[in-house]
Amino acid sequence: AAGVIQSPRHLIKEKRETATLKCYPIPRHDTVYWYQQGPGQDPQFLISFYEKMQSDKGSIPDRFSAQQFSDYHSELNMSSLELGDSALYFCASSPRTSGFTGELFFGEGSRLTVL
């Protein structure tokens, strides 16, 4: 079965650079969530999109932005990178035809290292 696809899986950037992470949800899933997991930390919710509109916003820094495209894939853009942005970034998707039903699928994560 198709899963959530994230790319790239690993990314190394320098401070003050920009990075873009991509997420391709499971087919027919219209809701995408982004999470950030720092070293030794629990995943923290950043932002979510439903039908290409931002639905909820969590602890996402102002330097970060995200969007969901017409094919439902999503991109997380991170600018002016700081050392503290080094983390695992997870994307998850769910169907939301009649509200949240507990079906939530995570990708394998993108590991960002800022030097």
Partner 1 sequence: AQKVTQAQTEISVVEKEDVTLDCVYETRDTTYYLFWYKQPPSGELVFLIRRNSFDEQNEISGRYSWNFQKSTSSFNFTITASQVVDSAVYFCALSGRNYGGSQGNLIFGKGTKLSVKP
Footprint on this chain of partner 1 (rule: CB under 8 A): 31, 33, 35, 41-45, 48, 50, 55-58, 88, 90, 92, 94, 96, 99-100, 102-106, 108-109, 111
CB-wise, 13 or 111, nearer to partner 1? 111
Q: Which amino acid is present at 109?
A: G
Rounded Cα distance, 47 and 33, in Å: 6
Yes or no: say if 108 and 9 are a contact pair by the CB < 8 Å rule.
Answer: yes
CB-wise, 17 or 56, nearer to partner 1? 56
Least CB distance to partner 1 at residue 111 (A)? 7
Least CB distance to partner 1 at residue 63 (A)? 19
Least CB distance to partner 1 at residue 102 (A)? 4
- List of residues 6+ apart from 47 with CB closer than 8 A: 33, 34, 54, 56, 57, 58, 60, 64, 66, 76
CB-wise, 56 or 82, nearer to partner 1? 56
Total H helices, total E strands in the chain: 0, 11
